[in-house]
Amino acid sequence: VTTLQTLGKNIPGLVFFSDERNHASIIEGIRGCKNEKKIFRHNDVGHLEELLKTVPSDKPKLIVFESVYSMSGTISPVKTIAELAKKYNALTYVDEVHGVGLYGKTGAGILEQEDQQHSIDILNGTLSKAVGVFGGYIAASAIIIDFIRSFGSGFIFTTSLPPAICAAANKSIQFIQQNNQLRKHFFENVKQLRTAFDNNGIEFKSNDSHITIIPMEDATRCRQIANQLLEKHGVYLQPINYPTVPVGEECLRIIITARHLPKHINHLAYSLKKILHGDNQTDWKEFPAVALAD
């Protein structure tokens, strides 16, 4: 919020170009400064270019998007967006909150994986999620960082993070940088989860990220299935309903961890199968993993 608001309030005439699926924190930041904004269709670079063409080249512009979209699991075409930014004289801002820790050789995110770290002006990440602590950061050139630190009221008028939190985040980042093996295992788990779903006839949306989406397309059904999962099978999946997603796109969203074991994956697949397809299979000897997960 602070970075976008600060840029909007302090760069006269700045026009925002924002992906329609951007996170609420981005939307709040853009709303907070009342600059002109143009919303492009999700990951639609053709539409983005059409909109960029409508603004004179000497007018300041900022393209704002995410690398991994948390509610659909889609990954943005970072390289193409960066090329468009260059062509139309725009700055770029990418939210890597769902990429940090998981993608790239050292876990820096999608930009590292796609070798695009040099082509984006401002990146924001979190010290929660994969880092497992608290707080957030932006990475940019020294001049942009100095600008945000000097004018960002959301940064200036709040207490800084306590040393213990910073130390924990520091340790966690070191761990992330040095444990590529854990990242590989994490993605093997994602693959295993999807294979288990395929084997049990559980439909999910395919994407290139680690976020697995099971469409529900109805808020009541979504909540009911989540409740049954918890009450009957001891699995907690948060139902994702409006306003987090548009009406009709209600879903169950699964982000597995590197620590989940095959028995946990099988337990989830089995539980979902029972709820979604009314499978009467109750012989738990047939599902040793389920028995173990209990």
Residues 271, 266: Cα–Cα separation, whole Å: 8
Least distance in Å: CB of 13 to ligand PLP? 26
Which residue among the candidates 9, 37, 129, 205 is catalytic per the annotation? 129
Chain positions 60 to 99 lying near ligand PLP, rule: CB under 6 A, are 66, 70, 95, 97-98
Which residue, 60 or 77, is less far from ligand PLP as judged by CB?
77
Distance between CA atoms of residues 1 and 26, nearest Å: 6
User: Minimum CB separation from ligand PLP for residue 178, in Å?
Assistant: 22
Pair 192, 152: CB distance under 8 Å: no
Q: Is 218 exposed, middle or buried (0-12, 13-18, 19+ CB in 10 A)?
A: middle
Question: With contacts defined by CB under 6 A, how many residues of the chain interact with ligand PLP?
Answer: 11
- Give me the 227-266 binding string for ligand PLP, x by CB under 6 A, dash otherwise: ----------------------------------------
**What number of CA atoms fall less than 13 Å from residue 273's CA on the CB side?**
18
Judged by CB under 6 A, the residue of 18, 72, 113, 126 near ligand PLP is 126
| CA atoms of 4 and 231, how far apart (whole Å) | 42
CB of 135 to ligand PLP, least distance (A): 7
Work out whether 128 is an interface residue with ligand PLP (CB under 6 A): yes
Write the binding mask 168 to 197 for ligand PLP: x where contact by CB under 6 A, - elsewhere: ------------------------------
Distance CA 236, CA 265 (A): 13
Chain centroid to Cα 119, Å, comes to: 20
- Distances from the Cα of 44 to the Cα of 188, 197, 266, 294, angstroms: 30, 29, 36, 44
Residue closer to ligand PLP (CB basis): 1 or 258: 1
Per-residue contact track with ligand PLP, 129 to 158, x per CB under 6 A? x------x----------------------
Quick check: is 129 catalytic?
Answer: yes
For the stretch 285-291, contacts whose Cβ atoms lie closer than 8 Å and that sit 24 or more positions apart, written own/partner, are: 288/263, 289/262, 289/263, 289/265, 290/263, 290/266
Q: Which is nearer to ligand PLP, 72 or 266 (CB)?
A: 72
Per DSSP bridges, beta strands 15-19 and 251-255 are: unpaired
209 near ligand PLP (CB under 6 A): no
Q: Does 23 bind ligand PLP (CB under 6 A)?
A: yes
Q: Is 31 in the site for ligand PLP (CB under 6 A)?
A: no
- Binding to ligand PLP by residue 19, rule CB under 6 A? no
Q: Please give the single-letter amino acid code of residue 16.
A: F
| Binding window for ligand PLP (CB under 6 A); candidates: 123-131, 187-195, 228-236, 275-283 | 123-131
Among 262, 289, 291, 276, smallest CA distance to 188 is for: 262
Catalytically annotated residues: 129
Interacting residues toward ligand PLP by CB under 6 A = 23, 25, 66, 70, 95, 97-98, 126, 128-129, 136
